[in-house]
Structure 1
Amino acid sequence: MSFVEVEREYLRGQLLGRLATVGDDGTPQVRPLGFRLNEDGTIDLGGPRVASTKRYRNVLSRPRVGFVVDDITPDEPGGVRPGMGRGVEIRGVARTLRVADPPGEPPLAGPDIIRLYPERIISWHIDPENPGGYARNV
C-alpha cells in the first residue's frame, strides 16, 4: 500500500481536497473538490460535469498533478500539535476515466472522474507516533 494506516484514516475522514494542475500555457490552476481513497491506493476526484472543466482538460494534456488534503489539528487529548496545520500532500500522475461508481452522490457526482496515481506522499501532524510526518516516493 502506498499510504500508511494513519494517512488512510485521515483521508477517509476528510471530504474536500485541492487539486493542482497546469494548463497548456503553463498557468497553474488549483481547485477544491471531493475525493475518495480507493483500496488500491489511488484517489478518485469527482464532481458534477467534471469532463467539461479546465482541470480535466489540463490532466488530458499534462497529467502530472498535486493534491492536498489538510485542516487544523484539533485541540483534543492526544492531538498532534493542536492548532497547527496537518494534512497529506500527494504528487503523481492523473488519468481521466468514466466510472459507474463515482465519488459522491448525484447530482454532485457524475461518471467522469480524475484518478490520481500517487508517486510521492508527504504527511504532517497526523500521527502521534511520528509527529513530524512521513515523506516518501511510492
Structure 2
Amino acid sequence: MIFTDKERRYLAAQLLARLATTGPDGAPQVRPVGFRLNDDGTIDIGGPAMARSQKYRNAQARPGVCVLVDDMAPADDPIAPGWGRGVEIRGRAEVLSVDVPPVAPGRFSNDIIRVHPRRVITWNLEALGSASRTVG
C-alpha cells in the first residue's frame, strides 16, 4: 500500500494540490491543480485544455514530478493544532486520455497527468515532525 489510512483520508479531503514539473530549460514550474487519489495509489491531475498546457508538455518530456498537498491544521487538530501539515509525493508522470476527467467533468479535459508515486514525505499528519519513505 502506497499511502497510510491517515494519508488517504487527508488527501481525499483536499481539493487543491501543486504540481512541480521541469521545463525545457531545466527550470522548475509549479502550478496549482485539481487532483484525485485513485484506489491503486496513483494520483490523477486534471485541468481545462490539459494537453495544451506547459505542465502537460513538461511531464510528457521529463516525467520526474512532485505533487504537494498541504494546509494549516485546524485549531482542534489532535496532532498539530494551528500548524502546517501535508503530503509531498515524488514520482513518475504518465500522460494519457481517460473517458471521464478525474475532477470537474464537463469543465476539465479528458487529458490527464497520472502520477505514480515513488517517494512519500509527510509532516505533522500522523505525528509531529516529518517522515519519509520510498514506495516504488
TM-score by length of 2: 0.94
Deviates more, 1:100-109 or 1:47-56: 100-109
Whether contact under 8 Å (1:19, 1:33) holds in the other structure is yes
Whether contact under 8 Å (2:46, 2:111) holds in the other structure is yes
Percent identical: 53
Which whole-Å CA distance do the structure 2 matches of 1:7 and 1:93 have between them?
A: 19
Secondary structure class of the residue paired with 1:105: coil
Q: Deviations over 1:31-78 (max 9, x none)?
A: 0010000000000000111000000000111000011000001101x5
TM-score by length of 1: 0.93
Q: Deviations over 1:91-114 (max 9, x none)?
A: 010010100122112343210000
Which whole-Å CA distance do the structure 2 matches of 1:119 and 1:106 have between them?
A: 28
Aligned residue for 2:42? 42
- Structure 2: which 5+ residue stretches go unaligned? none
Of 106, 131, 136, 2:133 maps to: 136
Aligned Cα root-mean-square deviation (Å): 1.1
- Structure 1: which 5+ residue stretches go unaligned? none
How many pairs are equivalent? 135
Aligned residue for 2:66? 66
